[in-house]
């Protein structure tokens, strides 16, 4: 074989990634509660049926500046409150909104029932990593308080979960996408980018999902590389199913796809 020709990638699953929020522990519930309190505060000034949509529009516009997480949401709530009320909102009510953000940051880490056992079972068969996005301090605190850190070979806290982020992580592990599976509740952040690279996915929906994470189109022809789990107890079997499919697949190129989909 020519020295410039990459060796084929041995088939099989080598690494399994896990999302954090709403996959390992509850999160969106606390954001929903804060948003409901925000809407009650604003309702003292205006009678608007679209407060929810206007807040999301401001949050979405601010993502590139503030990133994900409670701090960005709090700043967006303040901006939205000023805009929606025509700057009539009082300083005391703005303080109430700041306190809503602090409440999110202080919420307890409530693990999904059975998730530790599920991660441990998968870790007994494959190396596992945590790949979560959001505010660094908040995510570090949640990982620490979760008691799950010992199960993961590595913990990645990232600003965005897209194909580029996953490609970087896989490159650092010297793995091809076909050797990686991602477990998470968000099709947009956890599943679609990995499938686009040529990896595998297990989608475990949470009972509520932030609207930003519901916008996703799965790449054509990837259904065979996706499994679904309704509860953490179903995750080990779902990953085992993917591992069997990966082991039976044709050995591929060790090179990661570029942004265009061609090997880099």
What does the pLDDT look like over 26-79, one tens digit per residue?
999 999 999 999 999 999 999 878 888 899 899 999 988 898 889 999 999 999
User: First and final CA of the chain: distance in angstroms?
Assistant: 19
Average pLDDT, the chain: 89
Closest CA to 245 of 193, 194, 188, 201: 201
Q: Are 232 and 18 in contact (CB under 8 A)?
A: no
Q: Which domains does the chain have, with CATH numbers?
A: 8-25+110-253 (3.40.50.1000), 28-105 (1.10.150.240)
Q: What is the pLDDT of residue 9?
A: 54
Distance CA 190, CA 166 (A): 10
Q: Are 165 and 158 in contact (CB under 8 A)?
A: yes
Closest CA to 59 of 84, 89, 87, 79: 79
What does the pLDDT look like over 165-194, one tens digit per residue?
999 999 999 999 999 999 999 999 999 999
Q: What is the pLDDT of residue 219?
A: 84
Q: What is the pLDDT of residue 4?
A: 45
Q: What is the pLDDT of residue 140?
A: 95
Distance CA 235, CA 203 (A): 9
Q: What is the pLDDT of residue 209?
A: 72
Distance CA 228, CA 176 (A): 23
Average pLDDT over residues 213-218: 73
């Amino acid at each position: 074989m020519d020295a410039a020709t990459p060796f084929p990638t041995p088939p099989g699953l080598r690494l399994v990634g896990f999302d954090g929020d709403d996959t390992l522990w509850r999160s969106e519930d606390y954001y929903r509660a804060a948003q409901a309190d925000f809407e009650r505060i604003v309702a003292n000034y205006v009678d608007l049926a679209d407060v929810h949509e206007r807040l999301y529009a401001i949050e979405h516009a601010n993502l590139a500046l503030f990133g994900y997480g409670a701090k960005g949401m709090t700043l967006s709530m303040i901006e939205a409150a000023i805009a929606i009320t025509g700057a009539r909102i009082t300083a005391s009510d703005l303080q109430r909104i700041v306190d809503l953000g602090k409440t999110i940051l202080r919420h307890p880490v409530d693990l999904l029932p059975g998730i530790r056992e599920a991660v441990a079972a998968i870790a007994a068969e494959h190396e596992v990593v945590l790949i979560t996005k959001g505010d660094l301090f908040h995510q570090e605190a949640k990982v620490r308080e979760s008691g799950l850190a010992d199960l993961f070979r590595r913990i990645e806290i990232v600003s965005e979960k897209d194909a580029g982020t996953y490609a970087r992580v896989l490159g650092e592990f010297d793995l091809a996408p076909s050797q990686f599976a991602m477990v998470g509740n968000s099709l947009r952040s956890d599943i679609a980018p990995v499938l686009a690279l040529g990896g595998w996915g297990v989608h475990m929906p949470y009972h509520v999902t932030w609207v930003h994470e519901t916008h996703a189109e799965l790449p054509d022809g990837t259904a065979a590389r996706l499994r679904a789990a309704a509860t953490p107890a179903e995750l080990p079997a779902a990953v085992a199913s993917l591992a069997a499919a990966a082991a039976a697949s044709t050995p591929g190129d060790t090179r990661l796809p570029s942004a265009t989909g061609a090997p880099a």
